[in-house]
Structure 1
Amino acid sequence: MVDSRDDLSARLVRVASKLAVAASSPGEPVMFGADSHRFRIGPVLTEDEVVAFETRHGVGLPPDYRGFITTVGHGGPGPFGGAGPFYGLLAIEDWEWTLQGDPDATMLARPFATEPGRVYENWLAEAAPDEDDEPFRGTLVLSHQGCGDLSLLILTGPARGRVVDTSPGKHGPHFTADPDFLSWYERWLDAVLVGDRHFR
């Protein structure tokens, strides 16, 4: 039987290695948004820092994301963070960028109501039926795509651990095909390393 912790460790090592290759590639980056961070990422967070964040918000981070920010890196030098999809990977302190209302300490612990595969007639009305409801509760912002669109990590709810892209309209956010954060991030790195200009 394979220990899932060993599997996660191997994935993190592989991702860190691919990131190092991307950062050492000569010439100007061609991937959209990479000119702002140039594949550099900020220092890792300590275990104490992560526990403090989880305690403050009453939520546990998905293991792969938690592993990434404690062993690979966190945030970074660009105006929108460090090496990551679109304009870069935001720092965990920027978790509330997508909220439509004022953030509070319980927002991340409240389940994100949207589910993959479900068809919504009017997503906003169903996800936040009351005037004071926050449709993006239970999510942490990962990256800014431009034009107001964001990539989010779901921390709480039926799709915990998945990455979702915000989008306007009645159908609501779009779930990526990736099963978790690390798969999404590594897919971006793979696109970078083959010279793609855009990531979707």
Structure 2
Amino acid sequence: MTADPHLSARLDRVAEKLAVAARRPGKSVMFGASAHRFELGPPLPQTEVAAFEREHGVSLPEDYRAFITVIGHGGPGRWGGAGPYYGLHSLQDWATSLWGMPDSNTLSKPFPAEPGRVYSDWPTDVAPGDDDEPYTGTLALSDQGCGYLSILVVSGPARSRVTDNSDTSTGPTFTNDADFLGWYERWLDAVLDGATYFR
């Protein structure tokens, strides 16, 4: 588990809600749920996550790290396991949202966007060259469909926040959630309330 009792309580609550969602009778009405069926793969070993962090020169946000090492990781769906939209990507698919090929410092280089910041011409303002990467410091969380993804900021001023790979000129749209677990639990609450879509 985790040494932080508040984080442990949040993980327990999320695990309980996920179990309830998976046991619901009949077909779920939530968009994307048929892809993952509310199933996650087994948690990743701490050693594997630590090796990933060393390789990329980052420390994953504590709540996300705890989720993938305690509750589960990846899953049976084409795009991953139980989660918003078509499900949570595995950690190995972290670079799905990038425009180009990752290098050794792609994750450790800060993501330039942050909540409340408006750009005049995203992503040209932050990645003016043909080979520049606007989504440094982020990892892909979930495929929303039509090429859009939810992403988690792991480096930069918005670290721990969830946003998207927006193609609007004003820049990415951040959720109001404080962190990954807040975003994930809000999705579970929507599922349990019978919602058909999550945003």
Q: TM-score, normalised by structure 1?
A: 0.96
Letter of the structure 2 residue corresponding to residue 154 of structure 1: V
Paired position in structure 2 for 1:60: 59
**Structure 1 stretches of at least 4 aligned residues deviating more than 4 Å after TM superposition:** none
Structure 1: 5+ residue runs without aligned partners? none
* CA positional deviation for 1:29: 1.2
Paired position in structure 1 for 2:113: 114
Paired position in structure 2 for 1:45: 44
Question: After superposition, what is the alpha-carbon deviation per residue over 1:11-54, rounded to whole angstroms, capped at 9, x for unaligned?
Answer: 00000000000011111111000001110111000110100110
For residues 146 and 131 of structure 2, the distance between their equivalents in structure 1, rounded to whole angstroms, comes to: 25
Question: After superposition, what is the alpha-carbon deviation per residue over 1:141-199, rounded to whole angstroms, capped at 9, x for unaligned?
Answer: 00000000000000000000000012212112110000100000000000000100000
Paired position in structure 2 for 1:145: 144
* CA positional deviation for 1:126: 1.4
Q: TM-score, normalised by structure 2?
A: 0.97
Aligned length: 198
* CA positional deviation for 1:132: 2.8
For residues 167 and 147 of structure 1, the distance between their equivalents in structure 2, rounded to whole angstroms, comes to: 12
DSSP 3-state at the match of 2:44: coil
Tell me, yes or no, if the aligned pair for 2:111 and 2:138 is still in contact at 8 Å: yes
Letter of the structure 2 residue corresponding to residue 13 of structure 1: D
For residues 141 and 99 of structure 1, the distance between their equivalents in structure 2, rounded to whole angstroms, comes to: 8
For residues 104 and 43 of structure 2, the distance between their equivalents in structure 1, rounded to whole angstroms, comes to: 23
For residues 151 and 27 of structure 2, the distance between their equivalents in structure 1, rounded to whole angstroms, comes to: 28
Q: C-alpha root-mean-square deviation of aligned residues, in Å?
A: 1.2
Question: After superposition, what is the alpha-carbon deviation per residue over 1:111-154, rounded to whole angstroms, capped at 9, x for unaligned?
Answer: 00111101111121212133332100100000000000000000
Paired position in structure 2 for 1:86: 85
Q: Percent identity?
A: 61
Paired position in structure 1 for 2:21: 22
Paired position in structure 2 for 1:126: 125
